Amino acid sequence: MSKPNAKPHGQIRQSQLVSMFGPGAMMDLPNNAVLIGGLDDWTPGDSISEPRLAIKVARLLGLPSVYLRTPPRAEETGPAPGPRTGIKVWEFPEWFVTQDAHITSNTGVRSRMLVHRRMLTKKKFVDNNRVKHSVVPVRFVRACRSGHIGDIDWRIFAHSGRSDCTRLIWFDERGTSGDISEIWIRCECGATSRSLIAAINLQNLALGTCNGLRPWLGPSTMTRESCGEPNRLLVRTASNAYFSQVMSVISLPERDETVKQQVDLIWEFVSNVEDIGELKYERKKDRVNKALEGLKDEEVFAEIQARKGAGTSLPKSVKLAELETLVSTDEEIGEDKPDGTFFARRLPNAVWQDQIMAPIEHVTLVHRLREVTALVGFTRFEALAPDIEGELEMGVRRAALAPEMTWVPAIENKGEGIFLQFKQEYIDTWMNRADVKARGKQLLDGFEKWRKEHPHSKREFPGLPYLMLHSFAHLLITSVSLECGYPASSIKERIYAIPEVGYGILLYTGSTDSEGTLGGLIEVGRKIHLHVRAALDLGELCSNDPVCAQHAPENIHECRFLHGAACHGCVLIAETSCEQHNSYLDRALVVPTLANLGVEFFARAKSAKILKYPPYQETSAKVAEGRSGDDE
């Protein structure tokens, strides 16, 4: 590896450093192909306060504590010759191909030389005839599922094993498509020529076994890990070259924060309390009683136990804490202030009640929210999404961001959202139908076939309520994006399917700007019944029907085991919006389809076929006339 760049060669947004180009990611700068360095090569930015996320990340990484810091800002780069801040990168790969090609007249084969960085002079290759050749980085490298990466040893590959030959290696393109099957690696000695397609088959170990190299952490052999997995061929710019593993939480106005602040005031009096009886005795003191006014003895004692390490309960899952707040009985949640992190208000039922909204219990407009997202690691070849409660798998071997972790890069987005709470009795009744159970068996069979192909995964089947809500959220995102002013790729989802607490979906958007967003989702939220109706109309017919509607999840020939009736023509959306990377989707659970399975959650009334997407004033009039009365 070359030394880290001493001079800035490009800029990148902070959010991209967390979502796409974190440590270990490959990217092309204007004049270099590089590998983003580990956190030891970063200059951390500002601290972010989000205790709930910090505790989750520390537990996930097996650390006593961890700090959340923003990536460095572009303006932090200091003027020369003073100290510079930012991110260091490493030149990668170290093999290049010459840009000018030799074309064989009778066969049309285009041949270019493969040269190592050590063979270059001022970034050009000079051949034996003193001719200078411009070069570009080779687009193929080797990697393994654990994230390790390195250059392919082209000499060993060309000779199908170890060789003492030092002649030039040639990169032959025997076709015009650039397909791997048409690329051959040839040694100038003429002894051998080998198709690159041989590198695809993992059984023959054409690229050898992984040596555990982690070049993003530095060139030292101390950064290597034991591995031994088969090396896989990887295209540098392919979409499976890097998958960030992120965990995000929505900042909540938890009552626990009030308890902590009030206990702080009188900690000297209650630090030795061993039971609630002793606490009640201490509360007889005027100062203690005044500080703890409005708090129950049980919650104060729980805070005292937690501080003393006596609490044995694990922290709530990410989504459980959020759902408990969103379904609380308060008409308003949080404080309506410019610098607040969360403020939500229930929308009056009379505004949104509609025949099609019968399964909805509450509509909550989240006027202000803050989402904090932290990068905890990365994988290659296969993405790993959080589970249905927002937690990342503990047993996954994720690639490290630094040899020793003390902080993780994080960003905060401020925005707005719409929360729809579903009636639990409606979901329970739907779940107990025989035809719905039969569809669930089909979807479970597909999931089991997927798990056989991924034996290392510990994921569990998310359940039919999650699949239904997830598919409905995708349809609603598409519908809402047509009028809210945000593109569909900017609207995110959070699906809540926790039977003990409730069911719901949160559609939200946000930006790193200090002012957040400008009310587009709140405005469409006031007419949410129209958008729900439009979403359901949208889902009934797909441009790929009847093929889409009749897809069987367990079909081994299509290999779409995590999909029911779902494709890019109907419910698949941008992966930046979907919390499950477009998996676990089936619009047949939401609306009737051409397959006529009869498993839809939203039953359409007989008159629904003549109801169109009405003007806002017409719908408002119908609501005022009491249209909500014909729920069934």
DSSP string, 107-138: T--EEEEEEEGGGEETTEEE-TT--EEEEEE-
**Interval 166-193: pLDDT, tens:** 888 888 888 777 788 888 888 888 767 8
Confidence class for position 616, pLDDT limits 50, 70, 90: very low
For residue 40, pLDDT beyond 50: yes
**DSSP states of 426-467 as a string?**
HHHHHHT-HHHHHHHHHHHHHHHHHHHH-TT-------HHHH
Residue 77 pLDDT: 43
Pick from 391-405, 419-433, 445-459, 546-560: least confident: 391-405
Question: How many degrees, rounded to 5, is the angle at CA 127 between CA 123 and CA 133?
Answer: 45
User: In angstroms, rounded to a whole number, what is the distance separating the alpha carbons of residues 523 and 591?
Assistant: 26
Q: Which residue has the higher pLDDT, 383 or 422?
A: 422
Give the global pTM: 0.79
For residue 413, pLDDT beyond 70: yes
**Token output for 45:** 């930015």
Residue 459 pLDDT: 83
For residue 201, pLDDT beyond 90: no
Confidence class for position 566, pLDDT limits 50, 70, 90: very high
Distances (CA, A) of 577 to 131, 349, 524, 595: 51, 28, 18, 28
Average pLDDT (193-206) is 82
**DSSP states of 76-111 as a string?**
GPPPTTS---SB-EEE---EEEESS-EE-TTT--EE
**Token output for 482:** 């047509």
Q: What percent of the chain has pLDDT over 70?
A: 87
For residue 454, pLDDT beyond 80: yes
User: In angstroms, rounded to a whole number, what is the distance separating the alpha carbons of residues 521 and 507?
Assistant: 8
Confidence class for position 604, pLDDT limits 50, 70, 90: low
**Cβ–Cβ under 8 Å, residues 471 and 571:** yes
User: In angstroms, rounded to a whole number, what is the distance separating the alpha carbons of residues 432 and 426?
Assistant: 10
Average pLDDT (513-517) is 57
Give backbone dihedrals phi and psi of 344, rounded to 5 degrees, phi first: -135, 150
Residue 261 pLDDT: 74
* Count of positions (residues) in the chain: 632
Average pLDDT (305-321) is 67
How many contiguous H segments (helices) and E segments (strands) does the chain have?
Answer: 16, 23
Q: How many CB atoms lie within 10 A of CB 444?
A: 15
Question: Amino acid identity of 246?
Answer: V
State the DSSP H helix or E strand holding residue 496, giving kind and residue range, or none if neither.
strand 492-498
Q: Which of 38-42, 166-170, 389-393, 437-441 has the highest mean pLDDT?
A: 437-441
For residue 247, pLDDT beyond 70: yes
For residue 82, pLDDT beyond 50: no
Instruction: Tell me the average pLDDT of the chain.
Output: 83
Computed on alpha carbons and rounded to an integer, the radius of gyration of the chain in Å comes to: 29
**DSSP states of 348-411 as a string?**
PHHHH--GGGTTEEEEEEEEEEEEEEEEEEEESSS-----TTSPPPSS--PBPSSSS-SEEEEE
**Cβ–Cβ under 8 Å, residues 540 and 609:** no
Alpha helices by DSSP H, 501-555: 520-525, 528-540
Residue 620 pLDDT: 38
**Interval 53-69: pLDDT, tens:** 888 888 888 888 889 99
Residue with tokens 């003193």: 130
